[in-house]
Chain A
């Protein structure tokens, strides 16, 4: 479990992470989603003690990771940058990491096999492609068979087979009861992997909810067009739904399914010229969330107090 409380990082007068509070639960894959530069990597670096928070704190399994005596078995981490000396081989790099914690060389062989790097274990890392570098990073993260897995953009540079492999790996680790925290700037990727999403934009946590809420959330949206739109508006507002006038004849209805809107139109005798449900994809929800960090902040709070 990872718990961040009012976590803040400032570089000069630029606030990269702004009072972020969230909890990453074990037994699930938690996606950490945000555009590039939103503060994902910085947050992850603070979790593992590589960057010091300006204020606030973050605990891993209720402890400060910087004081951990079992770092590799507690937390496995892949950070965005290739973090291996270019003149080393994967074998030397992993053996060196394993040595700090007294892990056996057999475990090094296991993770090399698991990540498909056995064939290149004696090649220098400097010549590796981005995808191979990522595989080595994942091998390093898995080395201690850790309880918490933190992966920063793990599918970067991976081929489709590798992407599927990471997805299965994350799901399998979560199924074993481990805490899995994966960052990405692609909602489509998260939609297929994560159970829970934490969205960050401009350093602020903008949403923290199960992935299902990002799609349904009772937020069916429909575009309705009619000449007597005012009549329909009155009829619908009785239902306690959100209405937004787009132009003289067009209305955006948030809440009821389009079927109910149609029936209401029939009851009130309003002839509809258009009744079009908007399929909100995760991508839309994400785009909307990150379009304007400050404005959407309040909307999400409203959503939560909506009885969810």
Chain B
């Protein structure tokens, strides 16, 4: 029996095509716009409130440079770091977006359409990674810039220096974006592994808020656990973006290695499961 195998000329799947497909769907969903705007508004509001709070505190207390534990507040970059006060919230909200981008496929059954249109599952995963990195990274950069612009007049009112080109704001801007991207990718991996929105969001929140509490409690019993807590995603993001307020004993390369670990390990686990398990 001879069979003509003709390869269709049209309809070749490309990475760019899958990326466009993902973008069309992502921007057609209302949840995307809602989460992005909440992230931006909350971050800017916290930056403004924080700047106002620090400014009025310093004004009412006069010279705090001699006070115990207040030294950090008088350092030149401290006001700039205040811009990043809402970082954890941005991380969580955009992390949820990461969870939903993958868990939504399975909770709604649209995974079937997705993987029929592109049977190569890891290509779909890569497209989602690129999309969420661009989307959350750009959103966080925009948030920080908006927060800077909004907090500037408040800071000037209290004679605080907000230096755009200074190291502190640049850390907030770039490491903040890195922290957000790390969280969004962790969320994406959780959504891919658990295939469930509520589960993914709960675990992500747990890793951010519950794990630090547990390790600090246990840290009283075993000293080495304190070293572990420095590598938790909550701690890593803050110590990278706002090193004056949240100091760390880790070297920069150690911190970056920690971030890379939180990105690569969950995604690698997720990729293995995605390739192996059946799509329902």
Contacts and interface: CB of A to CB of B under 8 A. Distances in A.
Interface of A: 1, 45, 48-52, 61-63, 65-75, 77, 79, 81-89, 92-93, 95-97, 99-103, 140, 144, 147
A1 B3 contact: yes
Contacts of B276: 52
Residue in A69, A92, A147 whose Cβ sees the most chain B Cβ within 10 Å: A69
Interface stretch (B22-30, B60-68, B220-228, B245-253): B22-30
B70 interface: no
Interface stretch (B6-14, B137-145, B195-203): B6-14
A92 B278 CA distance: 26
Interface residues of B, number: 37
B161 interface: no
B13 A100 contact: yes
A142 to B, nearest CB: 13
B109 A49 contact: no
A175 B279 CA distance: 32
Contacts of A102: 10-12, 14, 17
B30 A70 contact: no
B11 A96 contact: no
Interface stretch (B42-50, B89-97, B110-118): B110-118
Contacts of B18: 99-100
Contact of A49 (B13, B25, B119): B119
Contact of B117 (A66, A81, A101): A101
A100 B21 CA distance: 6
Contacts of A88: 25, 28-29, 110
Contact of A61 (B5, B13, B119): B5
A217 B49 CA distance: 85
25 contacts: A49-B115, A61-B5, A66-B120, A67-B120, A72-B11, A72-B117, A73-B11, A77-B116, A83-B112, A83-B113, A85-B25, A88-B110, A93-B113, A95-B24, A96-B21, A96-B28, A97-B117, A99-B21, A99-B24, A101-B11, A102-B10, A102-B11, A102-B12, A102-B17, A140-B113
Given A79-B112, A96-B25, A69 B12 contact: yes
Given A95-B24, A102-B17, A73 B29 contact: no
B14 A89 contact: no
A70 B6 CA distance: 11
B159 interface: no
B55 interface: no
Nearest to A79: B112
Contacts of B31: 87
Contact of B110 (A85, A99, A103): A85
A51 B8 contact: no
A62 B5 contact: yes
A91 B20 CA distance: 15
B75 interface: no
Interface string B97-115: 0000000100011111101
A67 B121 CA distance: 10
Given A1-B3, A51-B278, A103 B10 contact: yes
Nearest to A51: B278
A71 B118 contact: yes
A74 B108 contact: no
A280 B121 CA distance: 48
A228 to B, nearest CB: 54
B17 A101 contact: yes
Contact of A62 (B3, B28, B30): B3
A85 B278 contact: no
Nearest to A42: B278
A68 B17 contact: no
B109 A82 contact: yes
A92 B6 CA distance: 30
A1 B1 CA distance: 12
Nearest to B20: A99
A147 to B, nearest CB: 7
Given A49-B115, A103-B11, A87 B24 contact: no
Nearest to B30: A87
A201 B32 CA distance: 45
Nearest to B16: A102
B36 to A, nearest CB: 16
Contacts of B11: 70-74, 101-103, 144
A84 B5 contact: no
Contact of B8 (A49, A65, A67, A73): A73
